[in-house]
Amino acid sequence: MVASGDKLAYGPLTALTEEEGLFQAMAREFATNEILPHVQTMDQESAFDHVLLQKIFAQGFMGIEAPEGYGGSGGSFFLAILAIEEFSRVDASAGVVIDVQNTLVNNALQKWGTDEQKQRFLTRLVSDTLGAYALSEANSGSDAFALMTRVREDSHHFVLNGRKLWITNAREAGLFIVFANLNPGAGYRGITAFLVESGTPGFTVGKKEDKLGIRASSTCELILEDCRVPRENVLGDVGKGYKVAIETLNEGRIGISAQMVGVARGALEGAIHYAQERKQFGKPIAEFQAIQFQLARLATEVEAARLMAYNAARLKDAGLPFLKEAAMAKYFTSQVAERVASECVEVYGGYGFTRDYPAEKFLRDAKIGKIYEGTSFMQLQTIAKIILGA
């Protein structure tokens, strides 16, 4: 259960335009009315509700930035960030589903795809086809370009062989951006991005991971065994897949920042609501100074996290450099989300340790923020390189 309304006020720097405010309200209403009733069941069953996914498509949340000519909404990156935050306030799994779709898959196609690829694939991604981003492998996590998935040329096709791990949305996805190395001797300059459709011969979605958090979001391995991909399905230039990966992930980190802000907000709003209802020693626990100070401190941290995420998104929309700010936002918001979710469990006392209340789920969901789309250590490394001019 999530408390109704946003108890965390907006300051001037987080103020929204009228359009943004209306969009945020729509996203919040959809999350509360359509997603919230399914959250507990989806978490328990580790499966995303198919009908709910169709509703998310129908409301346009899968093509927020995509141009109207391809069936999208033609909105800003910032609007996508608002939707991710509002969905994650209710369910981080729903947040990451639209995050991967908008900030990774759609963005990569918009920037690197040909007109034919956009007409063929982007129109489907905004209407009814879930996308997935397949970069990680068993030995290629933080060392993102140590790829063992190989490619060879064969007449009019490229033939892919290898395995991918930790691929979000894999079970439900109809289109995958798969990274593989055509020329290992050239190192990362041999990496190429391919658009691979589900059902392609030689392409199999493997084991689904049994995860601590974001359980409704499928995370699976991919198996490629002589998977033949047409030449026209190369995304970007041959040997330039590393650019597709780097530039897309830089934007994706802002999406994860928004997810973590949403998780922190959901946890805190629930705790505030509970503290005003739960009575001990004859009065609500919210009247005890210790609880008041704890909630006030957490609210301050959430507002700071929100500022960092919004700032990075605004910079991206303005066409200004945002690499440092994105790394800082990803690092800070994931730290805040875990800390806030953990302390909110304590506000509930023993009830917070049970599944009767949402506090424990927010804590489980928060943990992934420090890990995927660049670990906290990798964000610190990026920040250090920039501020030291390395």
**Predicted local distance difference test score (pLDDT) of residue 11:** 63
pLDDT in tens, 278-315: 999 999 999 999 999 999 999 999 999 999 999 999 99
pLDDT at 107 over 60: yes
pLDDT class for 6, splitting at 50, 70, 90? Answer: low
Q: Under a CB-based contact definition with an 8 Å cutoff, are residues 197 and 154 in contact?
A: no
pLDDT in tens, 227-258: 999 999 999 999 999 999 999 999 999 999 99
Q: What are the sequence ranges of the domains in the chain?
A: 12-129, 132-240, 243-388
Question: Phi-psi bin for 231: left (phi > 0), alpha (psi -120 to 50), beta?
Answer: alpha
Query: What's the helix, strand, coil split of the chain in %, to 5?
Result: 55, 15, 25
At 12, the amino acid letter reads: P
Q: How far apart are CA 384 and CA 389, in angstroms?
A: 8
| Spatial CA neighbour of 134 closest among 105, 167, 92 | 167
| Spatial CA neighbour of 105 closest among 298, 284, 314, 245 | 245
Q: How far apart are CA 177 and CA 197, in angstroms?
A: 9
Intrachain domains 12-129 and 132-240 with the same fold: no
Return the CATH class of domain 12-129. mainly alpha
373 in catalytic set = yes
pLDDT in tens, 255-273: 999 999 999 999 999 999 9
pLDDT at 7 over 70: no
Q: Which CATH architecture has domain 132-240?
A: Beta Barrel (2.40)
Reduce the DSSP state of residue 225 to 3 states and report it: strand
- What CATH number is given for 243-388 in this structure? 1.20.140.10
**Predicted local distance difference test score (pLDDT) of residue 145:** 82
pLDDT at 390 over 80: no
- Active site residue: 137, 172, 343, 373, which one? 373
Q: How far apart are CA 360 and CA 44, in angstroms?
A: 13
Q: What's this model's pTM, rounded to 2 decimal places?
A: 0.95
Q: How far apart are CA 133 and CA 384, in angstroms?
A: 27
Q: How far apart are CA 232 and CA 351, in angstroms?
A: 55
pLDDT in tens, 161-198: 999 999 999 999 999 999 999 999 999 999 999 999 99
pLDDT at 2 over 70: no
At 183, the amino acid letter reads: N
**Predicted local distance difference test score (pLDDT) of residue 155:** 84
pLDDT at 368 over 60: yes
Q: Under a CB-based contact definition with an 8 Å cutoff, are residues 338 and 229 in contact?
A: no
**Predicted local distance difference test score (pLDDT) of residue 12:** 61
pLDDT in tens, 30-74: 999 999 999 999 999 999 999 999 999 999 999 999 999 999 999
Pull the structure tokens for residue 332. 């800070």
Q: How far apart are CA 126 and CA 62, in angstroms?
A: 5
Burial of residue 333 (CB within 10 Å: 0-12, 13-18, 19+) is: buried
